[in-house]
Chains A and B, each alone.
Chain A
């Protein structure tokens, strides 16, 4: 027996009556749940569904990625194919299941799919380097955590990332775990980062569910709003939105690292989760939730600078939406919590950044300059990705992902605006999602745009994911109910051109509303997120040493040299070094490494100009990595501040790197084979 939903046209098959036996429906119910479940307004399928089977598929994907990493170390060409098959196995089946309207897919299964994908993608990141941190930012936070364990106090200066000790949240948690368990900082850090991942996705699922949630909780049911929203179960939108967030550029790697925002963002998201629940409890309970939100806001502010400002921006926007909505609409839900929390967040930021984290403004100003330059004369085209040309596959998928999101976001935002503009949280997310276009401009128009935009997408993708998911779910719901596109003649009164355009629009909407198309577009966005994110193509798989290649350059010889400096020279010496050893010396070596002496290395001679440059920088020791003469820099620059960035055509000549051997007064104090350390203090003293 079937019935058709008048609003959506979705065909629903009813259960047979009691007198007709207890046969199972011959095909899955459509329309989002059973009749009983619909009457209850709840998820009538609190089961795990096919979650174990999908977890098995994800595990198989992780296994393929592990094998791909092994191929990477072995320099085998099959590694890339294994890697991509593994990634797609992790993500795509879960996506297909998530967008299913079958009532058999319950809330628990959807949440399980989100957490399963999160765990599997974290495993992909973990397996890349399971024994040690290798990315510079991770090593810098490892240094700060190690300093806390050593000194038992916060705010120990960290020359490799001076801002890090001023936002000690993740280090405090990690050292607490390390102290109580006896685990190393690396292991404790990996646990903290992994837990933060799960917490973030759990929080996003709950946030999105509440934003898309039952009408009764957040305001008056509007005529037609449910139909416009496609009569979606909130957990279906929430699950798909969470999976879409996992397609953002840095989700899989950078944001999953042991870095401060990894912990701060989940804290901020839970603040929004609390805010997204309407103040519908007892006054005491409402006050308690606000109190908890205040605590979490404070914790987020002291954990990461940008997250604190991003949270303030969202809370302020929320407060403005509340205020504007209350002025325009009499039945707008009254809620002063956004204003209160925004004020508190601003106060926390002022206090923390004004009294403790005093380097924050100086640290963030260069990033703000990039945004300013975007609208001024300083805009420069985005640079290339280093010395190696970007493969066509990476270019196509990267730009394809941008195109898909950029093209679909605006209509999706329009849909959410029309369907949910009576909900403050949905309005906030819709407005915030439009910042995607601003960040996209930064990415395409500024010289350091890709890096900056990647960092910004971490935040911007949060509302973008919700808006896209809500739009996609509505398109899916409508595709089943949509009548056939009108014949051309029906539009004749308005003209042939208008008729064709509307037919084309109807055709596009019908195509986009097909599950296979949704999965395919999601796959493009997912793959594009990986190819435009981190790690780049030249180190997507781990493998043998490469010059100036971030993780691929961190290997035992460099670490041993850095550790030697700490053991034999003590901490805090002024060092000059190349890009990789800059990080290693600053972290494993706890040295104070200068950034702007690249010309000393490039010069074929060591003369007065080089002496002056070293003296001005206060350099005491020079570290020379002779491997710089064997390869072009994969990342585009040999040194932290490289005047020849992205312009190298040949490696540095070896004689230019060994010229220090013949300079009287320079002591060659360390020889590790590839790495040599010189003591230049005497020659600089003599020059002065």
Chain B
């Protein structure tokens, strides 16, 4: 590399380079933090979310785009589009490569993939920026990348919102939040059902069977369970289950393969005469 191509060194040069590459440094820092978080257990979910979302959706694509298309030659919309779609492509196409590894797609490998691509893109972009800077402006007649969408640089004042605009925006956020809260609360309140599950399953050798009850009634419930085998012998269980709690027992099945009819009937204590659930093995329930 000719000396003129080398980045300037020294405190001033380093500061300039850091200022020039502040975006790349931020992306690289995110990638490093994400990689560290992937290796540490017990990190709170909000912290993971804050770091992971830009690393999954923006950082790799942004640095790769900066490496491939350095300079201010893209409009803001194209900038966003390329950063996000390339980041997505890293996960999609990179996942195919991770699948070839024995470990496959884990939190560690996926984070490392995204971080390595981000860091490689940032390093390449920084080098290209340094070269462009050291090479100076393009010679007259030399082709250069025109600025896309010759939009005037945004005037900060023009972008400020009026008081009415600010109030409207705050109100809009509040109303949208209320809508989401209502929607979620409605779904939580209505999208429910009250039921109890009763089951019986024999093991592979048909010598024993698992009997189970699960309470999904939305409240604690008392049950009576009658277990009868063909021939009349039986047993009754009484128990109370909290909501979403389950009860299980294991029973021995009669030795004769074809002669083990077992019927299990479940009653709720509040309505003892009303059959609530019934399962059976090898029997014809009533």
B residues 14-36 touching A (CB-CB < 8 Å): 34
Kindly state the separation between the CA atoms of A45 and B184 in the bound complex, as whole angstroms: 39
Distance in Å: Cβ of B86 to nearest Cβ of chain A: 7
> Is A240 in the interface zone, CB < 8 Å from B?
no
Give the segment of B1-9, B194-202, B220-228, B233-241 that binds chain A: B194-202
- A20-28, A57-65, A500-508 - the one binding chain B: A57-65
13 contacts between A and B (CB under 8 A): A51-B165, A52-B168, A56-B172, A62-B179, A66-B186, A126-B183, A155-B99, A199-B85, A281-B146, A295-B89, A661-B285, A665-B282, A671-B197
Query: Measured between alpha carbons, how far is A175 from B175 in the docked complex, in Å?
Result: 32
A107 within 8 A of partner (CB): yes
Q: List residues of A (192-219) whose CB comes within 8 Å of B's CBs.
A: 195, 199, 202-203, 205-206
Q: Which residues of B contact A (CB under 8 A)?
A: 34, 37-38, 45, 48-49, 51-53, 55-57, 65, 68-69, 73, 75, 77-78, 80-82, 84-86, 88-89, 91-93, 95-96, 99, 103-107, 110-111, 114, 143-146, 148, 150-152, 154-155, 158-159, 161, 164-169, 171-173, 175-176, 178-180, 182-184, 186-193, 195-202, 210, 212, 214, 216, 266, 277-282, 284-285
Does A672 belong to the interface (CB within 8 Å)?
A: yes
Given A296-B85, A299-B89, residue A556 in contact with residue B193 (CB < 8 A): yes
User: In the complex, what residues of A have CB within 8 A of residue B281's CB?
Assistant: 667, 669
The distance in angstroms between the C-alpha atoms of A180 and B38, with both chains bound, is: 7
Q: How far is the CA of A154 from the CA of B99 in the complex (A)?
A: 6
Measured CB to CB, the closest approach of chain B to A541, in angstroms, equals 11
A391 touches B (CB below 8 Å): no
Task: Give Cα A564 to B210, complex, Å.
Answer: 13
A52 interface neighbour in B49, B150, B172, Cβ under 8 Å: B172
Please state if B165 and A52 are interface contacts (CB–CB under 8 Å). yes
Residues of the A chain whose Cβ atoms lie less than 8 Å from the Cβ of B37: 180
Tell me the bound Cα distance from A263 to B85 in angstroms: 10
Considering the complex of A and B, which 8 residue pairs feature the smallest CB-CB distances, nearest first? A152-B104, A127-B183, A180-B52, A172-B95, A52-B168, A59-B175, A179-B107, A288-B68
Q: Which of A52, A66, A291, A544 contacts B183 (CB 8 A)?
A: A66
The verdict on A615 contacting chain B, using a C-beta distance below 8 Å, is no
Measured between beta carbons, the chain B residues less than 8 angstroms from A564 are: 197, 199
Instruction: Enumerate chain B residues within 8 angstroms of A471, measured Cβ to Cβ.
Output: none
Interchain CB contact (< 8 A) of A202 among B34, B81, B193:
B81
Other 11 A-B pairs with CB < 8 A, given A202-B80, A281-B144, A289-B69: A40-B152, A168-B95, A180-B48, A181-B49, A199-B81, A296-B85, A296-B86, A664-B284, A667-B281, A669-B199, A671-B279
Q: Which residues of A contact B210 (CB under 8 A)?
A: 568
Output the nearest chain B residue to A171 by Cβ-Cβ distance.
B95
A151–B189 Cα gap in the complex (Å)? 34
A210 to chain B, nearest CB (A): 9
How many A-B Cβ pairs are below 8 Å? 289
Complex Cα–Cα for A661 and B169 (A): 62
Assess whether A183 is in contact with B280, with CB atoms less than 8 Å apart: no
A224 at the interface (CB under 8 A from B): no
Known A-B contacts A73-B190, A129-B187, A183-B45; the reply to A173 vs B92 at CB < 8 A is yes
- In the docked arrangement, what's the CA distance between A65 and B266, Å? 43
List residues of chain B with CB within 8 A of the CB of A154: 95-96, 99, 105
Q: Are A298 and B158 in contact (CB under 8 A)?
A: no
With contacts A107-B151, A183-B45 taken as known, whether A173 is within 8 angstroms of B88 at the C-beta atoms is yes
Query: Which residues from B are CB-within-8-Å of A48?
Result: 159, 161, 165
Q: Which residues of A contact B88 (CB under 8 A)?
A: 173, 263, 267, 299
**B114 surroundings in chain A (CB, below 8 A):** 176, 180
A381 to chain B minimum Cβ distance, whole angstroms, is 37
Quick one: which of A62, A148, A183 has the most chain B CB within 10 A?
A: A62
A258 at the interface (CB under 8 A from B): no
Instruction: State the Cβ distance, A667 to closest chain B Cβ, in Å.
Output: 5
Any chain B CB within 8 A of the CB of A425?
A: no
With A263-B88, A266-B85, A671-B198 as known contacts, state yes or no: A153 contacts B99, CB within 8 Å. yes
Indicate if A469 sits at the interface (CB-CB under 8 A): no
Contact across chains for B279 and A668 when beta carbons are under 8 A apart: yes
Residues of A contacting B167 with CB < 8 Å?
52
A130 touches B77 (CB 8 A): no
- B52 and A181 contacting across the interface, CB-CB below 8 Å: yes
Chain B residues contacting A354 (CB-CB under 8 Å) are: none
Q: Is A670 in contact with B279, judged by CB distance below 8 angstroms?
A: yes
- From the candidates A66, A131, A273, A673, name the one contacting B277 in the complex (CB within 8 A): A673
Q: Are B111 and A123 in contact (CB under 8 A)?
A: no
